[in-house]
Chain A
Amino acid sequence: QKEVEQNSGPLSVPEGAIASLNCTYSDRGSQSFFWYRQYSGKSPELIMFIYSNGDKEDGRFTAQLNKASQYVSLLIRDSQPSDSATYLCAVIYNQGGKLIFGQGTELSVKP
Chain B
Amino acid sequence: DTGVSQDPRHKITKRGQNVTFRCDPISEHNRLYWYRQTLGQGPEFLTYFQNEAQLEKSRLLSDRFSAERPKGSFSTLEIQRTEQGDSAMYLCASFTLLTGELFFGEGSRLTVL
* A19–B113 alpha-carbon span in the complex (Å): 40
* A72–B110 alpha-carbon span in the complex (Å): 33
In contact, B48 and A102 (Cβ under 8 angstroms): no
A interface secondary structure, majority: strand
A25 to chain B, nearest CB (A): 13
B105 at the interface (CB under 8 A from A): yes
Residues of A within 8 A of B (CB): 4, 6, 32, 34, 36, 42-46, 49, 51, 88, 90, 96-104
Which residues from B are CB-within-8-Å of A88? 42-43
* A17–B42 alpha-carbon span in the complex (Å): 26
B63 at the interface (CB under 8 A from A): no
B31-72 CB mask vs A (1 if < 8 Å, else 0) is 101010000011111001010000110000000000000000
In contact, B48 and A99 (Cβ under 8 angstroms): yes
Which residues from B are CB-within-8-Å of A45? 104
| A-B pairs with beta carbons under 8 Å apart, 27 shown | A42-B106, A43-B89, A43-B91, A43-B104, A43-B106, A43-B107, A44-B43, A45-B104, A46-B101, A46-B102, A49-B100, A49-B102, A51-B100, A88-B42, A97-B48, A97-B55, A97-B56, A98-B45, A98-B56, A99-B45, A99-B48, A99-B95, A101-B35, A101-B44, A102-B42, A103-B42, A104-B41
Beyond A51-B100, A96-B55, 16 additional contacts (C-beta under 8 Å) are: A4-B42, A6-B42, A32-B100, A34-B102, A36-B104, A43-B104, A44-B91, A46-B101, A88-B42, A98-B48, A99-B33, A99-B45, A99-B95, A99-B102, A101-B42, A104-B41
Which residues from B are CB-within-8-Å of A104? 41-42
B77 at the interface (CB under 8 A from A): no
Closest 3 CB pairs of A and B: A101-B42, A43-B104, A103-B42
* A99–B50 alpha-carbon span in the complex (Å): 13
A93 to chain B, nearest CB (A): 10
A28 to chain B, nearest CB (A): 19
